[in-house]
């Protein structure tokens, strides 16, 4: 499970980098086209930017959902392990008390 956690952390850092970078790149391209004066290119580029953002947001949403499911499953596994540990410690305590009384 450690590999999956490391992969998730790496993927999250890539998504964070993309979230910081892509909007500024898109704004730079659109403002550059406005300043240069290519109105036909500006319309096409605006559509391309919107489509890119929608596609990226859909991919991010599915990635985030899969990581939430992974976290819930990991939490359930931790809870099961903790409950097992509690029962083992209870049994150990009973055994120690029985041996102490002998």
3-class SS letters over the chain: CHHHHHHHHHHHHHHHHHHHHHHHHHHHHHHHHHHHCCHHHHHHHHHHHHHHHHHHHHHHHHHHHHHHHHHHHHHHHHHHHHHHHHHHHHHHHHHHHHHHHC
Structural domain of 42: 2-101
38 or 10, greater pLDDT: 10
Average pLDDT, whole number, for the chain?
A: 83
pTM, entire model: 0.58
**Total tally of structural domains belonging to the chain:** 1
- pLDDT at position 1 is 61
């Amino acid at each position: 499970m450690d590999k999956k956690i490391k992969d998730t952390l790496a993927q999250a850092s890539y998504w964070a980098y993309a979230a910081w970078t892509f909007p500024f790149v898109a704004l730079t391209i659109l403002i550059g086209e406005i300043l240069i004066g290519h109105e036909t290119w500006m319309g096409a580029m605006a559509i391309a930017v919107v489509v890119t953002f929608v596609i990226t947001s859909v991919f991010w949403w599915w990635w985030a959902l899969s990581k939430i499911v992974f976290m819930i499953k990991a939490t359930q596994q931790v809870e099961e392990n903790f409950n097992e540990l509690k029962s083992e410690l209870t049994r150990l305590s009973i055994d120690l008390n029985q041996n102490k009384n002998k």
